[in-house]
Amino acid sequence: MDKYRIGYGTDLHRFAPYRPLYLCGCRIPCRLGGLLGHSDADAPVHAVIDALLGALCLGDIGHFFPDTDPEFENASGEMLISRTLAMPAFQGWELANLDMTILAEEPKLAPHIQAMRESLAGLLKTDVSRISIKAKTGEGLGIVGRCEAIDARVVLLLHRKEDGQN
């Protein structure tokens, strides 16, 4: 029986004016507005969900939370992560650690890193010491650099709980 499983996920959403910006479940002020999407478009949370699903070879976020389903219109990251972790396949596993990079030209994310770590730890029901979040700009290049989108990339490790743990 496997003791460890690694997962990798990415997500990219384009900016849209007049929408609130949510990253890792945090509402973050941004002059460009928020991100476009059927849900609340929390790209880092979506990348985490893809990494969780990938670790257990379950498919991807679109399979479980299709953007054609009205139930998920404006769905929060909190709702999507809690539904993911409630799947039977995740019982018996816990997060060893998660490492994320968010690529965004704007807003500057450094002042929000700790709040995002704490928020994501809460969503994943784990300790903040297991959550790493880094932010980079696009150096003015590409869709991130032109302030057209925010791109999130995540790798995480799950390990099997000891017998008797829930």
Q: What's CA 24's distance to the chain center, in Å?
A: 6
Q: How far is the CB of 121 from Mg ion (least distance, A)?
A: 21
For residues 16-45, which are near Mg ion according to CB under 5 A? Answer: none
**Selected range binding Mg ion among 46-54, 88-96, 98-106, 129-137, rule: CB under 5 A:** 46-54
Residue number with CB closer to Mg ion (12 or 32)? 12
Q: Closest approach of Cβ 8 to Mg ion, in Å?
A: 15
Nearest distance from C-beta of residue 131 to Mg ion, angstroms:
19
Q: Are 133 and 113 in contact (CB under 8 A)?
A: yes
Shortest Cβ distance from residue 100 to Mg ion (Å)? 14
* Closer Cβ to Mg ion, 46 or 117, answer by number: 46
| Residue 153 touches Mg ion, criterion: CB under 5 A | no
| 11 makes contact with Mg ion (CB under 5 A) | yes
Among 21, 22, 46, 54, binds Mg ion (CB under 5 A): 46
Residues that bind Mg ion (CB under 5 A): 11, 46
